[in-house]
């Protein structure tokens, strides 16, 4: 698909993205053949275990990957413009205003020795057009928008003076400061207690709806994704192995990995011994890899699985899967 043919509603369109890390012990193929798109107002869940490449993907989208990382193939198009070929200054202007990100561990993701009001003003000034007084007003407005009680007082606080939940709200306020069209939330509820988690997630969902933002929710928690996302992408070892609307993923997983991920996800109706851990580890991403990176952990693997190239294909409307032998439709359907 060429960049030009993207329908207008698609804000972000990623095609065939590959990212490699040069390390001392060899080249790590962190992402490979990653393609997906995000439309205005939609929430997409990016789900997979730790190390599957979710965060690398989000950093690649913003162009703030480590120096050791290299994008070796693909395009990342935002509103039709390829971010990868854009001049640096132009790309920087897109950060915050086009695409913004909320990070995990908000306490360490905020500058520890700068007042939160000052950090908000920094972002507002970076995107220009506001006087000092306007910045102050807008900063207060943002803090109010993310439901921080007593914003006049809190604007002068340092991050260490705020709770984890409050810090995450500040992170969200920072992300919203540039009125972005796409919001990437990377494990936004890590380290927060359950009630705060729900409040933060609802805040993200509501803000996404109000601003017609496209939201990418990155999480290892399939249950969380299921609650808030319209569509779920399942990642495994740098591949997107299955994509489908949330309901379909939950009821009719077709990739063996998705099915195992579901079986390993706790929910109130399951006893602890009913949870099945996924056997094996993520494969070593150095050296040559089989077309299907789940092969070594898959109990359905047969010699035929080595056939290349393995592409993600539509097996139903809105449902794609990267597997030579997807699970039959009946399997995995629960009650």
Partner 1 sequence: MAQQSKLRFIIQRLLAAIPSIIGVVVVTFILTRALPGDPAVFFAGPSATQEAIDQVRASLGLDQSLPIQFLRYIQDLLKGDFGESITTGQTVLYDLTTRLPASLELTIAALIFALAIALPLGIVAALYPNSKWDHLIRFLMTAGVSLPTFFTGLFLLYVFYYRLNIAPAPTGRLDLLTSPPDRITGLFLIDSLVTGDFEVFIQAFCQLVMPAITLGIFALAPVARVTRASMLAVLSSDYIRTARSHGLAPLKILWSYAFRNALLSILTTMGVVFSFLLGSNVLVEKVFAWPGIGSYAVEALISSDYAAVQGFVLTMALLYIVLNLSIDIIYGMIDPRAGQ
Provide the binding-site residues for partner 1, judged by CB under 8 A: 59, 62, 64, 92-97, 100-101, 103, 105, 108-114, 122-123, 126-127, 158, 160, 171, 174-175, 177-178
CB of 117 to partner 1, least distance (A): 13
Closest CA to 186 of 57, 19, 20: 57
Give the whole-angstrom CA distance, residue 81 versus residue 93: 13
CB of 2 to partner 1, least distance (A): 28
> What Rg value do the Cα atoms of the chain yield, rounded?
21
The nearer residue to partner 1, 108 or 314, going by C-beta atoms, is 108
Assess contact for 243 and 319: CB atoms under 8 A.
yes
CB of 102 to partner 1, least distance (A): 9
Q: 């132009």: which residue's tokens?
A: 90
CB of 98 to partner 1, least distance (A): 9
Q: Which residue stretches of the chain are H helix?
A: 54-62, 88-94, 106-109, 116-126, 132-145, 151-154, 164-176, 194-210, 222-228, 246-251, 256-263
CB of 76 to partner 1, least distance (A): 15
CB of 104 to partner 1, least distance (A): 9
The nearer residue to partner 1, 121 or 293, going by C-beta atoms, is 121
Long-range own/partner contacts, residues 166-170 (CB < 8 A, 24 or more apart): 167/106, 167/107, 167/109, 167/110, 168/102, 168/106, 168/192, 168/196, 168/200, 169/143, 169/200, 169/203, 170/106, 170/110, 170/116, 170/119, 170/120, 170/143, 170/146
The nearer residue to partner 1, 124 or 237, going by C-beta atoms, is 124
Q: Give the helix/strand (H/E) hosting 330.
A: none
The nearer residue to partner 1, 158 or 324, going by C-beta atoms, is 158
76 DSSP assignment: E
Q: How many CB atoms lie within 10 A of CB 279?
A: 10
The nearer residue to partner 1, 96 or 151, going by C-beta atoms, is 96
The nearer residue to partner 1, 127 or 138, going by C-beta atoms, is 127
CB of 19 to partner 1, least distance (A): 16
The nearer residue to partner 1, 50 or 335, going by C-beta atoms, is 50
ω into 304 cis (within 30 of 0): no
The nearer residue to partner 1, 94 or 231, going by C-beta atoms, is 94
CB of 122 to partner 1, least distance (A): 6
């Amino acid at each position: 698909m060429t960049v030009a043919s993207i329908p207008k509603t698609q804000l972000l369109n990623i095609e065939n993205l590959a990212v490699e890390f040069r390390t001392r012990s060899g080249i790590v193929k962190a992402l490979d053949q990653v393609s997906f798109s995000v439309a205005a107002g939609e929430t997409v869940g990016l789900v997979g275990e730790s190390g599957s490449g979710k965060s690398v993907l989000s950093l690649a989208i913003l162009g703030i990957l480590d120096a050791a990382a290299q994008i070796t193939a693909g395009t990342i198009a935002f509103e039709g413009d390829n971010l990868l070929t854009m001049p640096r200054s132009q790309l920087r202007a897109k950060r915050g205003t086009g695409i913004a990100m909320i990070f995990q561990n908000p306490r360490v993701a905020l500058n520890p020795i700068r007042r939160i009001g000052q950090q908000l003003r920094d972002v507002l000034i970076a995107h220009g057009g506001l006087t000092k007084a306007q910045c102050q007003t807008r900063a207060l407005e943002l803090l109010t928008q993310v439901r921080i009680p007593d914003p006049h007082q809190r604007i002068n606080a340092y991050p260490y003076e705020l709770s984890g939940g409050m810090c995450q709200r500040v992170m969200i306020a920072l992300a919203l400061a540039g009125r972005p069209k796409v919001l990437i939330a990377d494990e936004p509820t890590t380290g927060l207690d359950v009630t705060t988690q729900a409040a933060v997630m609802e805040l993200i969902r509501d803000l996404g709806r109000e601003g017609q933002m496209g939201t990418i929710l990155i999480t290892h928690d399939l249950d969380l994704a299921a609650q808030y996302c319209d569509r779920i992408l399942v990642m495994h070892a740098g591949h997107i192995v299955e994509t489908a609307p949330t309901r379909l993923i939950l009821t009719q997983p077709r990739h063996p990995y998705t099915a195992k991920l579901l079986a390993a996800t706790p929910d109130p109706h399951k006893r602890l011994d009913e949870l099945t851990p996924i056997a094996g580890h993520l494969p070593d991403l150095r050296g040559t890899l089989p077309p299907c990176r789940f092969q070594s952990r898959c109990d359905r693997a047969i010699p035929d699985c080595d056939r290349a190239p393995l592409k993600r294909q539509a097996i139903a409307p809105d449902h794609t899967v990267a597997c030579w032998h997807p699970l039959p439709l009946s399997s995995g359907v629960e009650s």
